[in-house]
Structure 1
């Protein structure tokens, strides 16, 4: 039977089914303790450890991220015709001179992040902050301060779980909810994503790409989450410094007073040695 011969009720039902199908294809899906040892699992394959590791994840909330515009931000962003999904995270940054990227994970934390921002401002340099949604949602003023100072804000999931042990829907929820907080606070969506513990999988790469983010790992790990002492953090960062290096530190997730003190010491030294502390431009897709 041709369409123009169908009864009106049947034609209406078919049209409704098509609309629902399109919404399913184009929409984003709905969508554990933040360990104070965020990179141990990446090196050993062990599950996240820490005194709060047993805390239950927050219940997922339905997300409409990028399905409908936020007030004043225009229409939803369309996915590129040919989505580029990386198989490995970016580890180094290219650039002229002696570029070096400083990154801080797990914040923002009102106890330590303001001091880090103050030190960066004193030396007129920019850094990257990979924030967790559960920290960012109550400290959106710090996100705006980061943006005003020219720093780059990246997505580090909502609650810092090990993504490789989660379902696709749970991974999407962790990432999307944090995208929402960042864009709500700053008016700009994040362009970079970092998996907790450095634990990536195909699903994390793809969801990050669908949401318009590049995956960034690191070259030098300060291991500051172990609280090894200020002098040890300084030594690790200065000995690992080289053009294109991405340095990993933390501004939350535990006592970060050593990280704050170390930055005050090694940052001017790196600048004196000719390093250009910078943030990356967006990688072309």
Structure 2
């Protein structure tokens, strides 16, 4: 007859343990990571950033409302030729429509920014509604670029309401601008060049657009102002990571 220990167990056999609590804990953790995305290197706060990291004669180029298959690829080519990194503030609907362009933006080493899902004015929105929109947009971006860092959020129309605080809670620094040249209106490239060169100030974040309409004049202007500014001693930087 086999030897039986007390409580009826055979020698050397460990009692069975339920893995259900452990699996539930892991599932909760994975769910939280999926919603929030990868941890950002620097914590965010709700101050709206409008300056570069280094200050001085530096400028940061930021582009809203893409990706846009008509103009974003050529803009990427211009930035690549001049070895300039920029911030692309992505409109969620267009991210879903053109994920290949989002991947091209990321592959070139540019910085991704959440610009909301449908480009709605969020000024009067409750925090829960803002949060749902920002999470949906970030999920769309990460569907195109798995594991992508999204360190910034820019409110559509610069109409912030409570969106800056919600974005900071999600690890995204609110991103503003110091110079806007109104390229969302039909404007010749010559005029855009003039507005940028005359309006830029040390450490400025510049608001431009690669989507939302015909942005070929903007791309033409960017191609011209980069070498011009460099010849005047300016350097290209990224926005500050924290206000």
The two structures have a TM-score, normalised by structure 1, of: 0.68
Please, which runs of 5 or more residues in structure 1 have no aligned partner? 1-63
Superposed, 1:110-189 pairs within 5 Å as 110-186=69-145, 187-189=147-149
Partner of 1:8: none
Judging changes above 3 Å, is the alpha-carbon distance between structure 1 residues 257 and 85 closer, same or farther for their aligned structure 2 residues?
Answer: same
Superposed, 1:27-176 pairs within 5 Å as 67-70=31-34, 85-86=45-46, 88-95=47-54, 98-176=57-135
* RMSD of aligned Cα (Å): 2.6
Please, which runs of 5 or more residues in structure 2 have no aligned partner? 1-27
In the TM superposition, residue 97 of structure 1 has moved relative to its aligned partner by 5.1
Partner of 2:153: 193
In the TM superposition, residue 85 of structure 1 has moved relative to its aligned partner by 4.1
Instruction: Give the Cα separation in 1 of the matches to 2:44 and 2:97.
Output: 33
Instruction: Give the Cα separation in 1 of the matches to 2:102 and 2:134.
Output: 17
Instruction: Give the Cα separation in 1 of the matches to 2:37 and 2:44.
Output: 19
Partner of 2:234: 275
Q: Tell me, what secondary structure is at the counterpart of 1:153?
A: strand
Superposed, 1:237-276 pairs within 5 Å as 237-276=196-235
Instruction: Give the Cα separation in 2 of the matches to 1:84 and 1:248.
Output: 21
